[in-house]
Structures are given as C-alpha cells and as structure tokens.
C-alpha cells in the first residue's frame, strides 16, 4: 500500500513548547529570519515577517538571527 506523506502533512507545530512572537513595530523587514527558518514557515508579507504556527517547531533560530531583536520566545498555550 502506498501511503501519502510529504512535509506539508507533517505539522511540526505540534513539537513546540515555546513560540516565537514578532513585534511588528520592531521588524525592519530584512527577511533574515525567513531565510534561516529550517521549516520555511516564515513568510514576508508587505515587508513584515509572519509565522505559520502550524509548522513552527519552536527552535528559536529566528530569534538568534534577528538583528533588531524583534522576535521573542513566549510559552506556548
Ligand atoms: S522558531 Fe524555528 S521553526 Fe519556528 S519560526 Fe523560528 S526558526 Fe522557524
Ligand atoms: S529578522 Fe527580525 S527584522 Fe528581519 S524580518 Fe525577521 S523579524 Fe523582521
């Protein structure tokens, strides 16, 4: 039997205990976070980074990459 499986069906957001939150007032739209994200779940929309929490696994690489400290990890709910 062939099982359908791809990275889209693997919702890595379930792995998370903490979630990154972006302060839109601080974000300068440099897109470095989007480039470093291993899940490719940060999209630039009108020069603002937006996270798809269905796929964000909470690794915090984006937090380390942001040059203006616009991303903060917060406890997930
Ligand atoms: S915490 Fe990790 S997976 Fe989530 S948006 Fe940041 S880099 Fe991507
Ligand atoms: S790295 Fe920081 S400043 Fe750059 S797009 Fe991401 S959140 Fe915005």
**Tens digit of each residue's pLDDT (9 = 90 or more) over 7-48:** 777 787 888 899 999 999 999 999 999 999 999 999 999 999
Domain boundaries, the chain: 23-75
The number of residues in the chain equals 77
pLDDT-derived band of residue 77, with 50, 70 and 90 as boundaries? confident
Contact 20, 69 (CB under 8 A): no
Question: Cα of 16 to ligand 2 centre, how many Å?
Answer: 20
Q: Ligand 2 site: residues with CB under 6 angstroms?
A: 22, 27-33, 49, 65-66, 68, 70-71
Give the pLDDT of residue 23: 97
Of the candidates 31, 77, 32, the one whose C-alpha atom is nearest the C-alpha of residue 58 is 77
Looking at the CA of residue 19, tell me the nearest atom of ligand 1: 1
pLDDT-derived band of residue 4, with 50, 70 and 90 as boundaries? low
Ligand 1 atom 4, closest CA: 56
**Tell me, which fold does domain 23-75 have in CATH?**
Alpha-Beta Plaits (3.30.70)
Question: Cα of 35 to ligand 2 centre, how many Å?
Answer: 10
């Amino acid at each position: 039997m062939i099982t359908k499986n791809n990275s889209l069906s693997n919702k890595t957001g379930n792995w998370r205990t903490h979630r990154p939150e972006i302060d839109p007032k601080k974000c300068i739209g440099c897109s470095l976070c989007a480039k470093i994200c291993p899940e490719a779940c940060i999209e630039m929309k009108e020069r603002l980074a937006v996270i798809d929490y269905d796929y964000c696994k909470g690794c915090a690489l984006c937090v380390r990459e942001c040059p203006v400290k616009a991303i903060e990890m917060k406890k997930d709910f």
